[in-house]
Amino acid sequence: MQQVPAETDFIVVGAGVAGLRAAVALAEAGRVLVLAKQELTESATLFAVGGVAVALSDEDEIGLHLQDTIDAGDGIVNPDAARVLVEEGPERIHELLEWGTQFDRTGSKLTFTREGAHSRSRILHAHGDSTGREMGRALAAKAMTLPNISFCEFEFTADLILKDGSVAGVELIAEGGKRHNVQASSILLATGGAGQVFRDTTNPSVATADGVAMAYRAGAVVSDMEFVQFHPTALYVPGAPRFLLSEALRGEGAYLLNPDLQRFMPAIHPMAELAPRDVVARAIASEISRSTATDPVVYLDMRHLESTHIGKRFPRIYSTCLQYKIDITKDLVPIRPAAHYLMGGVKTDLYGHTNVRGLYAAGETACTGVHGANRLASNSLLEGVVYGARAGECMREELQSLTRNTVERDVESNAKDDPEKAEQAIRVIQNVMWRYAGVVRDGAGLQEAIVMISALRDRLPAPVSRRSCEARNIQQAASLIVRSAMARKESRGAHFRTDFPVHDDANFRKHSVMQTEKVSFE
Ligand code: SIN
C-alpha cells in the first residue's frame, strides 16, 4: 500500500469489481488512486456467494438473457442499459478468464447453472460459492501489475470537493482520524450499496450508502431509490451477521418450511421455492407474522438432498453455517429475509456520467435503469465489470476536457466527535427502516418513517469521524428511500405496498428521480 498523494489524475472510490475494472481501463491514461475504506478484501464483491450470469453456453442466446433481465425488472428496465449488459458481458468474462479467473468447469468446459427467473443455464461460479471473491482477486491481481494504479486502504472518503460546479477532489479521513484532501478532476464512485440502512442485511459493514449520499450532497440526481431487493434467505442466528444463503440452494432443491415445519411455497406460486425473489421474501414475512411463536423462524431444508454434493457445491456456505453449529446437510437452517441490493442509485447514462461535471458512478452505486424494479439474480457482478469498464473508458477519453482546480491539502476541524451518538442514530434508523420500509410497506408506516428519519437529521453528530460520516450517509440514503417509496403509490418489483398492492402503469411505469427533496417520475 502507498502514501495518499496530494494530487492525481483519476480517483476511484471503492475497490469492488466495478471500481477495479474501471481502474484497469484508466491506467493507460494517467495516475489512478483506488480508495478503500477498509482492507481491499472488504466489499460487496467479496461477499457475493452467488454467481455471474452471462450468455455464453451453447444452449443460450444474448436475446434470451436480455428478455429475462427485462422481465425481472417488472416493466421499467431501461432496455438500452440491459442490452449493453448482456451484449458486452461475454467479452468482459472472456477478459476475466484471460486474467486468470478460475470459474468452475466440468472437464475443460465452463459449468453453467440455472437460477430462478433465468430461462437458460447461464450462471458461472468460482470455487462453488466464492465467485465474487475470485473475480475480485483476479481483477486486483491484474490492477497490481499496472504501475499507474495505487491503492490506499483504510482511507474513508467523507465528501466530494466541488469548485464551480465541477468535482475538484475528495476529502479523506485516515484510520487514525486525520483528515486530508486529494485533488483530481475525474472521480468514479463505486462504493457498492446501502444494505446497512436496514437492520437485517446480507451486505458487509462497509455498505453504508456512501457513494449515493455524497453524490446527492454534491447535487447529483438519484433515481429509483425505493427499489431495494430483499433476499429471502439470510441465515438467522441471533447475534450473528445475516450471512447470505444463495438462491442456488433452492435451485438445487432446498425446501422452505414455516415455523410449523410445513412447506408453504407450492400453495403460493407455481414455481414454489423458485418463485421470484420478492414473492418468496413476502411469503416468508407473512409466515413469520402469522406465527404465534415467540421468535418465529422459517427454515431452509436440505436434508433430502445428496449431502456430499451440497457440501462440495457450497463449501463456503457449508463451513460458515458450521461455525454456528448448523450442518446444512443434516439440520434445518433458520432464515429470514434481509436487505440485499439497491436497484436505485446515482442516476447515470450508459457511460457512467452523472449530472455533476467530472463525477461518474458505476456498479451498485449507479442507477442506469438496467435492473428496473427488481434485479435478475446474478446480474450484479456482470453489471460491475461491464459498467466499470465503460465508465473507465469514458473517463479516460474525457480527462483532458475537465478543468483542474486546486484544493488545499490539509483540513483543520475543531468539531467534536461523538461516536456513541453516531452509533445510536444508526441503530434507530436501521430499526425504523426495517419496520416501515422493509419487505412490506404502506403509506402510514412510510409517513412515520419520513418523520422519524427527518427528525434524526438534526440530532446527528458533526461528521468528523468515519462513523459519524457513515451515520450521515445512512440517514441521507434512508430519507431518499422512504420519500421515493412514499411517492410511488403502487406496487412494482421489490417495492410492495399493502395500500397500493398492484401496478399503476398509467402513472408509475416510470423511474423516480430526486435532486432536491422533491420526488418526480420520468
Ligand atoms: C444468490 O445467489 O442468491 C445471490 C446472488 C445475487 O443476488 O445475484
Instruction: Report DSSP state, residue 173.
Output: E
Least confident interval from 116-125, 188-197, 491-500 = 116-125
Q: Are strands 10-13 and 32-35 parallel, antiparallel or unpaired?
A: parallel
Which element (helix H / strand E) includes 166? Answer: strand 166-174
Domain that holds residue 448: 415-503
Ligand 1 contact via 134 beta carbon (within 6 Å): no
Grid cell locating 63: 436475446
Domain final position from 290, 320, 338: 338
Asked if residue 90 belongs to a domain, the reply is: yes
234, 246 contact by CB (below 8 A): no
Domain final position from 338, 367, 384: 338
Kindly state whether residues 354 and 481 are assigned to the same domain: no
Higher pLDDT, 47 or 426: 426
281, 439 contact by CB (below 8 A): yes
Residue 459: active-site member:
no
Kindly state whether residues 151 and 216 are assigned to the same domain: yes
Domain final position from 412, 447, 473: 412
Asked if residue 519 belongs to a domain, the reply is: no
Kindly state whether residues 487 and 441 are assigned to the same domain: yes
Summary mean pLDDT of the chain: 95
CATH of the domain at 318: 3.90.700.10
207, 201 contact by CB (below 8 A): yes
pLDDT, mean of residues 389-393: 98
Tell me the C-alpha distance between 471 and 477, whole Å: 10
Ligand 1 contact via 350 beta carbon (within 6 Å): no
Asked if residue 427 belongs to a domain, the reply is: yes
Tell whether the model's pLDDT for residue 448 goes beyond 90. yes
Of the candidates 83, 277, 336, 497, the residue annotated as catalytic is: 277
Kindly state whether residues 108 and 161 are assigned to the same domain: yes
Kindly state whether residues 400 and 441 are assigned to the same domain: no
Kindly state whether residues 403 and 475 are assigned to the same domain: no
pLDDT, mean of residues 25-35: 97
Ligand 1 contact via 248 beta carbon (within 6 Å): yes
Please give the share of the chain, as a percent, with pLDDT higher than 70.
98
Asked if residue 241 belongs to a domain, the reply is: yes
Tell me the C-alpha distance between 386 and 276, whole Å: 24
17, 136 contact by CB (below 8 A): yes
Quick one: which atom of ligand 1 is closest to the CA of 378? 8
- The most distant pair of C-alpha atoms in the chain lies apart, rounded to whole Å, by 65
User: Rounded to the nearest 10 degrees, what angle do helices 443-457 and 419-436 cross at?
Assistant: 170
Higher pLDDT, 403 or 390: 390
Please give the pLDDT value at position 228. Answer: 98
Quick one: which atom of ligand 1 is closest to the CA of 129? 2
Kindly state whether residues 316 and 353 are assigned to the same domain: no
Q: How many CB atoms lie within 10 A of CB 353?
A: 19
CA of 379 to the centre of ligand 1 (A): 9
Tell whether the model's pLDDT for residue 46 goes beyond 80. no
Tell whether the model's pLDDT for residue 42 goes beyond 80. no
Q: Which residues share a beta bridge with 230?
A: 339
Kindly state whether residues 55 and 180 are assigned to the same domain: yes
Ligand 1 contact via 377 beta carbon (within 6 Å): yes
Asked if residue 395 belongs to a domain, the reply is: yes
Q: How would you classify residue 10: left for phi > 0, otherwise alpha for psi between -120 and 50, otherwise beta?
A: beta
CATH of the domain at 196: 3.50.50.60
Asked if residue 513 belongs to a domain, the reply is: no
440, 289 contact by CB (below 8 A): no
Kindly state whether residues 206 and 219 are assigned to the same domain: yes
Please give the pLDDT value at position 44. Answer: 58
Kindly state whether residues 35 and 143 are assigned to the same domain: yes
Asked if residue 281 belongs to a domain, the reply is: yes
Among 115, 118, 125, 342, residue to substitute to test ligand 1 (most atoms within 8 Å of Cβ): 115
Kindly state whether residues 1 and 52 are assigned to the same domain: yes
Q: Considering its fold, how many domains does the chain have in total?
A: 3
Please give the pLDDT value at position 47. Answer: 62
pLDDT, mean of residues 137-164: 96
Give per-residue burial for 206-238: e unless 16+ CB within 10 Å, then b: bbbbbbbbbbbebebbbbbbbbbbbbbbbbbbe
Tell me the C-alpha distance between 435 and 202, whole Å: 17
Q: Is the dihedral of CA 66, 248, 371, 41 positive or negative?
A: negative
Ligand 1 contact via 246 beta carbon (within 6 Å): yes
Asked if residue 508 belongs to a domain, the reply is: no
Kindly state whether residues 149 and 257 are assigned to the same domain: no
Helices (H), 376-495: 380-398, 419-436, 443-457, 466-487
